[in-house]
Amino acid sequence: MEFSLSEDQQAFVASARAFSAGVLAPHAARWDKQAIFPKDALAQAGELGFMGMYTPESAHGLSMSRLDASLIVEELAKGCTATAAFLTIHNMATNMVGRYCQAATVEQWCPDLTAGKKLASYCLTEPGAGSDAASLVTTAIRDGDDYIVNGSKVFISGAGDTDVLVVMLRTGKPGAKGITALLIPADADGVSYGKKEEKMGWNAQATRMITFDNVRIPEVNRLGEEGQGFAIAMEGLDGGRINIATCSVGTAQQALEEAAAYVQERKQFGNAIAEFQSTQFQLADMLTELVAARQMVRLAAHKLDTKDSYASTYCAMAKRFATDVGFKVCNDALQLFGGYGYIKEYPMERHVRDTRVHQILEGTNEIMRVIISRKLLMDGALEIIK
């Protein structure tokens, strides 16, 4: 096994690090405080190729591996967690369009999506269908060469600010096989948006409900075949779990670096608090767990890239572990800052707020445990890890 990064990968990291430090980090606190969705920054990310990282080259993307993309996302998350997270959602939706839409639809949308000139939202969750995504009820009924869409989606990142929606809809009988994916222009007649949700974190991207009222969408906007939507959604979520796990690792790395610098400056009882053994042990545990999480994420990304038969299980394990560790490292870093960590003058409380939701989205960590344990009981641990 080779753990060192190639020259190309090091170049990706350097480019992402410079963009993160120069474009994202200086504005992250303001975006969070004022709930600003930084479209200009996302457009700049598009100029670097970051808005179509693993979208196929035939759809104007870079066709990166998921491992290479994760290296970039980790650096971006150090600058602004919420913006990096939205960027990964956009990448997931754009990749779906590029892989599964008809050529004419790909050419209509993907050049601007991969350039960051237009933005995409991914719409799966409904008021009554969260962890049980296969129970969704928003419908798309055939009417000649069109579909008529009715229903609603909730907790949609970027809703109201994006240009296109990749939507999972009920076209058939109950269950996973009755779900189809459609591309819906965000400004289509009959599409409306709810209020901007007031959230604990991720304030640099809007979260809204979307309602579809007799929205007419041509068949050419379908992704794949009828009934293929759930498979497309689950394929996307494997990568999405890598993405959100990577955002946790990147943010936790930033929090650890800030905490390590702070404890060497802050003095109590006549000494820098870094000289206290309890502080040193805390930092050692934070770093150890963070490195373990990073390696698990990269392993899962490799499994996904090589189409390993247990890739979904590895993605679930990586998501569960890295998001738990990421939140814990950020929370421990806040503790090392003491009272200063709790006030908004310092970024630590934002790191904590922004990473908390990672344990919920892309499948809650409880659902990750269900996925992992089912596969373990079905095939056995030795089969999974060999």
pLDDT per residue as tens digits for the range 195-246: 999 999 999 999 999 999 999 999 999 999 999 999 999 999 999 999 999 9
Q: Is 187 exposed, middle or buried (0-12, 13-18, 19+ CB in 10 A)?
A: exposed
So what's the pLDDT on residue 1?
Answer: 72
Could you state, in chain order, the average pLDDT of each consecutive group of 10 residues for the chain (386 residues)? 89 97 98 97 97 97 97 98 98 97 97 98 93 92 96 97 98 94 98 97 97 97 96 94 98 98 93 95 98 98 96 97 98 97 95 98 96 95 87
Q: Which two tokens stand for residue 286?
A: 């934070």
Q: Which two tokens stand for residue 4?
A: 């060192």
Dihedrals phi, psi of 203, to nearest 5 degrees: -75, -15
Contact 55, 91 (CB under 8 A): yes
Residue 35 DSSP class: T
So what's the pLDDT on residue 385?
Answer: 85
So what's the pLDDT on residue 382?
Answer: 87
Catalytic residue among 198, 258, 362, 366: 362
Q: At what angle do helices 348-356 and 311-337 cross, to 10 degrees?
A: 150
So what's the pLDDT on residue 9?
Answer: 95
Domain ranges of the chain: 7-118, 121-226, 230-385
Give the count of beta carbons closer than 10 Å to the beta carbon of residue 347: 22
Using alpha carbons, list the distances in angstroms from residue 145 to 36, 179, 216, 227.
Answer: 39, 18, 10, 17
So what's the pLDDT on residue 317?
Answer: 98
Mean pLDDT of the chain: 96
Q: Name the pTM for this structure.
A: 0.95
Q: Domain 230-385 is of which CATH architecture?
A: Up-down Bundle (1.20)
So what's the pLDDT on residue 323?
Answer: 98
Q: Which two tokens stand for residue 131?
A: 């962890």
Contact 320, 1 (CB under 8 A): no
Beta bridge partners of 152: 211
Pairing mode of beta strands 139-143, 191-193: unpaired
Reported as type and span, the H/E element at residue 99 is: helix 81-100
Contact 152, 203 (CB under 8 A): no
User: Is 121-226 in CATH node 2.40.110.10?
Assistant: yes
- The top-level CATH class assigned to 7-118 is mainly alpha
> In sequence order, what DSSP letters do the residues of 13-80 get, joined into one string?
HHHHHHHIIIIITTTHHHHHHHT---HHHHHHHHHTTTTSSSS-GGGTS----HHHHHHHHHHHHHH-
Contact 193, 209 (CB under 8 A): yes
Contact 163, 120 (CB under 8 A): yes
So what's the pLDDT on residue 125?
Answer: 95
345 is catalytic: no
Using alpha carbons, list the distances in angstroms from residue 173 to 17, 126, 183, 271, 309.
Answer: 47, 17, 21, 68, 28
